[in-house]
Amino acid sequence: MNDDIGLPISHWRRLWLYGVGALVLLFLIVPSLIIVPMSFSGSTLLQFPPESWSLRWYEAYFQSIEWRDATVVSLKAAVLTTVFATPIGTAAAYALNSGALRLAGFINVVLTASLIIPVILIGIGTFFLYARLGLNNTLTGLVLAHTVQAVPLVVLTVLSGFRSYDMNQERVARSLGAGRFAAFWQVTMPQIRFSIVSGALFAFITSFDEVVVSLFISGGETTTLTRRMFSALRDQIDPTIAAISTCLIVLSIVLLSAAQLFGRRR
């Protein structure tokens, strides 16, 4: 008799889950791994594996005025989004954790729902709203839209930091004469600062990598890097796209690793 027959079902179920998980990870990672060698191709066409190797497409990216301007717009939008989303999200997380809001449960549901709503619906709705307000193709409109998308991530990240924090510490500080702001800054802030930094990094990544909403509301002088990449894929396909994608992959890995590092230190 085969010894495998005597193995418990849970063992096979665990193996099946591991197998499915490995396939999902491969599906997510392999496309990114293929892009990297394609960015070093010496050919004028996207091909894998490359027939020759060159850095010409990285040089083309850094020397192109159009790509440079699009990158600057994305950086401006990401920095401003981080500046606005971080304090707003932190304040909202503080209010939710302190129990000062009567509709805290409902707000949590809304924040979670905003993360699973199809982004294209948000883009369409934002486009028609901005058309009435005159905010399409403006940096202000772009930052506002990205901030709305980033705030829920900041809130959820900072809330996770509050799980290991006892609000009674702040109440004690206030009972000893400290003001509300002083108690928060000197007692609460040092204990959740790593979660705040982690949330800020997520806000930056969300804005810098966002493409769907940007397709609807950005253009002209406010064309973002991701929107420019989308247009280039439609108009001219060359390994410059792969070079930029590789840069974005490296940037995302660095920022996400930093976010995870700060998150673990909370």
**CATH, residue 137:** 1.10.3720.10
**Among the ranges given (35-44, 119-128, 139-148), the one the predictor scored with the smallest mean pLDDT:** 35-44
- Asked if residue 138 belongs to a domain, the reply is yes
Instruction: Please indicate, yes or no, whether residues 94 and 189 belong to a single structural domain of this protein.
Output: yes
Instruction: Please indicate, yes or no, whether residues 115 and 154 belong to a single structural domain of this protein.
Output: yes
pLDDT tops 50 at residue 1: no
What percent of the chain has a predicted confidence (pLDDT) above 70? 85
- pLDDT category of residue 7 using cuts at 50, 70 and 90: very low
pLDDT tops 80 at residue 111: no
Residue 145 or 111, more confident? 145
How high does pLDDT run on average in the chain? 80
First-to-last alpha carbon distance for the chain, in angstroms, is 54
- Asked if residue 43 belongs to a domain, the reply is no
Residue 95: give the domain boundaries: 64-264
Instruction: Please indicate, yes or no, whether residues 33 and 69 belong to a single structural domain of this protein.
Output: no
- Asked if residue 146 belongs to a domain, the reply is yes
CA atoms within 13 A on the CB side of 101: 13
3-state secondary structure the chain: CCHHHHCCHHHHHHHHHHHHHHHHHHHHHHHHHHHHHHCCECCCCCCCCCCCECCHHHHHHHHCHHHHHHHHHHHHHHHHHHHHHHHHHHHHHHHHHHCCCCCHHHHHHHHHHHHHCCHHHHHHHHHHHHHHHCCCCCHHHHHHHHHHHHHHHHHHHHHHHHCCCCCHHHHHHHHCCCCHHHHHHHHHHHHHHHHHHHHHHHHHHHHHHCCHHHHHHCCHHHCCHHHHHHHHHHHCCCCHHHHHHHHHHHHHHHHHHHHHHHHHCC
Instruction: Please indicate, yes or no, whether residues 31 and 145 belong to a single structural domain of this protein.
Output: no
Instruction: Please indicate, yes or no, whether residues 211 and 260 belong to a single structural domain of this protein.
Output: yes
- Residue whose entry in the numeric block shows the structure tokens 């920022």: 255
Tell me the per-residue pLDDT of 130-187, one tens digit each, with 9 for 90 and over.
988 888 888 999 999 999 999 998 988 888 877 776 666 666 766 666 666 677 777 7
As a whole number, mean pLDDT of residues 80-93 equals 92
Instruction: Please indicate, yes or no, whether residues 26 and 69 belong to a single structural domain of this protein.
Output: no
Instruction: Please indicate, yes or no, whether residues 71 and 181 belong to a single structural domain of this protein.
Output: yes
Tell me the per-residue pLDDT of 124-139, one tens digit each, with 9 for 90 and over.
988 999 988 888 888 9
182 Rama sector, left if φ>0, alpha if ψ -120 to 50, beta otherwise? alpha
pLDDT tops 60 at residue 221: yes
Instruction: Please indicate, yes or no, whether residues 18 and 101 belong to a single structural domain of this protein.
Output: no
Instruction: Please indicate, yes or no, whether residues 143 and 232 belong to a single structural domain of this protein.
Output: yes
- Asked if residue 51 belongs to a domain, the reply is no
- Asked if residue 50 belongs to a domain, the reply is no
Tell me the per-residue pLDDT of 186-208, one tens digit each, with 9 for 90 and over.
777 777 778 888 889 889 988 98
Provide the pLDDT for residue 179.
Answer: 65
Query: From residue 173, how far is each of 35, 93, 96, 178, 189 by CA, in Å?
Result: 54, 20, 20, 6, 13
- Asked if residue 44 belongs to a domain, the reply is no
Provide the pLDDT for residue 174.
Answer: 66
Instruction: Please indicate, yes or no, whether residues 205 and 99 belong to a single structural domain of this protein.
Output: yes
Instruction: Please indicate, yes or no, whether residues 110 and 68 belong to a single structural domain of this protein.
Output: yes
* Measured CA angle at 183 (ends 180, 186), to 5 deg: 145
Provide the pLDDT for residue 263.
Answer: 57
**Among the ranges given (86-95, 179-188, 209-218, 227-236), the one the predictor scored with the smallest mean pLDDT:** 179-188
Instruction: Please indicate, yes or no, whether residues 24 and 151 belong to a single structural domain of this protein.
Output: no
The number of domains in the chain is: 2
Is the whole model's pTM more than 0.85, yes or no?
no
pLDDT tops 70 at residue 2: no
